[in-house]
Amino acid sequence: MAAKLMVGNWKMNGSLAANASLLSEVLAGMGGKTCRAAVCVPAPYLAQAQALLAGSALALGAQDVSAHEAGAYTGEVSADMLRDFAVRYCIVGHSERRQYHGESDVTVASKAQRALAAGITPIVCVGESLAERDAGQTEAVVKRQLAAVIHTNGHCISEIVVAYEPVWAIGTGLTATPEQAQHVHAVLRAQLQAATAHADRVSILYGGSMNAANAADLLAQPDVDGGLIGGAALKASEFLTMLKAASR
């Protein structure tokens, strides 16, 4: 398995001044870190981040991509447009996109397909709500969500990244226990192994209120290959602490 992958998701946060300060601090503190790292920034800041990250070990990521290649889709951003900004990763199917924008499993699979076709690694998010977990449906939900992506992208499924983000733990301060995270990650790993002989190439990240205090315990689990980090990625000191934990 490759080095752990830590991805900061800035969500709808940032400004030109704040971005410059944050990235400067993160880049200054990355010396000696052996994990892979990226930041997924809002689309208006891709050009700024591309310039600031050029030649660094911190990769650039986007937060969404259109399921369409091009055309009359006002407000959408295509994979080819992202590629123009040297985007390496793109989040698809984040729970906030599924919840607030009605994205279906099929839509998420199509977005992953567009990203892959453009040479961008999709970070495919899967996760269950609290009601689904309480009903004992966690495994069924995440397997259904991933199955759609495997069905559409089976020939190159080993080129994706998967992020398990329990919906009930996103932005709530609640976090899955290391044991809960490991259980779901193992389920996803087995599903990938059944789909491709190269499942060992797929990093499975944990997303869901990972922070500087709990990162080490989560990352110590055998099937947790990194993190998709929200609020903590907006604080340079916290993000760097987590990169250090991932570099052990």
Which of 38, 49, 39 minimizes the C-alpha distance to 16?
A: 49
Q: Determine the pLDDT at residue 136.
A: 96
**159 flagged as catalytic:** no
Q: Determine the pLDDT at residue 33.
A: 94
For residue 74, pLDDT over 70 is answered with yes
Average pLDDT of the chain? 96
Residue 184 or residue 155, greater confidence? 184
Q: Average pLDDT in the 75-100 region? A: 97
% residues pLDDT > 90 (the chain): 93
For residue 222, pLDDT over 90 is answered with yes
Which amino acid makes up residue 196? Answer: T
Which of 31, 37, 33 minimizes the C-alpha distance to 6?
A: 37
pLDDT tens column, 25-55: 999 999 999 999 999 999 999 999 999 999 9
Q: Average pLDDT in the 2-28 region? A: 97
Q: Average pLDDT in the 51-74 region? A: 98
**211-215, Cβ contacts within 8 angstroms, sequence gap of 24 or more:** 211/175, 211/238, 211/242, 212/237, 212/238, 212/241, 212/242, 212/245, 214/175, 215/241, 215/242, 215/245, 215/246
Judging by DSSP bridges, how do beta strands 89-92 and 226-229 pair with one another? unpaired
For residue 187, pLDDT over 90 is answered with yes
For residue 208, pLDDT over 90 is answered with no
SS3 89: strand
- Cα-Cα-Cα-Cα torsion 202, 207, 211, 215, nearest 10 degrees, comes to -40
**165 flagged as catalytic:** yes
Q: Give the active site residue among 94, 96, 103, 238.
A: 94
Q: Give the active site residue among 103, 165, 185, 238.
A: 165
The C-alpha angle with vertex 55 and arms to 26 and 202, in degrees rounded to 5, equals 75
- Which structure tokens are listed for 191? 């599903």
For residue 186, pLDDT over 70 is answered with yes
Q: Average pLDDT in the 172-200 region? A: 94
Q: Judge if pTM exceeds 0.75.
A: yes
For residue 1, pLDDT over 80 is answered with no
Q: Determine the pLDDT at residue 232.
A: 95
For residue 173, pLDDT over 80 is answered with no
Q: How confident is the model at residue 216 (pLDDT cuts 50, 70, 90)?
A: very high
Q: How confident is the model at residue 179 (pLDDT cuts 50, 70, 90)?
A: very high
pLDDT tens column, 127-149: 999 899 999 999 999 999 999 99
For residue 152, pLDDT over 80 is answered with yes
Structural domains for the chain: 5-246 (3.20.20.70)
